[in-house]
Amino acid sequence: MKALSALIAAAALFGGIQLFHGGSSESAADEVAPFNSYRLVANGDEAACAVSRGTEISDGLSLLAVAPICRKLLPGIEQAKFWREQDDGTVAFSANGVDPIVTFAAADGNGYESYAPALPLLSLAATSDSKSGD
């Protein structure tokens, strides 16, 4: 009986969301333009540097500019030239577009937190004045 109630509640929630979005399968997050500039921070603001997402060159793959000083946060990250956004919302920085140097999961707001490598913990926060299309 509890399972039936949960199923009905889930169906009602899904229907409400679809109604709210006008039946569109796109979420509100998909409709917002991505940020271009980010602040990369290591271990709770011990060090920081600038990262910029550039032009999209294929589905989910964009150019990336990493400030040379970022090597102080994670040696080798300054070699990253590509930003790859996966279907699950994770983001990976790589030198060749394939092999990740660092991988981030979505965090609260317009940011990400690293999970691979495990250390150092890095956070990537969008700067508020850098929305694309401005």
Asked whether the beta carbons of 64 and 71 are under 8 A apart, the reply is no
Confidence at residue 44, expressed as pLDDT on a 0 to 100 scale: 67
- Phi and psi (nearest 5°) for 82? -135, 145
Name the residue with tokens 């109630």. Answer: 5
Residue ranges per structural domain of the chain: 1-32, 33-126
The residue ranges of the chain whose pLDDT is under 50 are 1-33, 130-134
- 1.10.10, 2.40.128, 3.40.50, 3.10.50: CATH of 33-126: 2.40.128
Per residue in 18-45, pLDDT (tens digit) is 333 344 443 333 334 456 999 999 986 6
61 strand-pairing partners: 58, 84
Query: pTM for the whole thing?
Result: 0.68
Confidence at residue 47, expressed as pLDDT on a 0 to 100 scale: 84
Confidence at residue 35, expressed as pLDDT on a 0 to 100 scale: 64
| CB-based burial, 107-117: b 16+ in 10 Å, e otherwise | eeebbbebeee
Asked whether the beta carbons of 88 and 101 are under 8 A apart, the reply is no
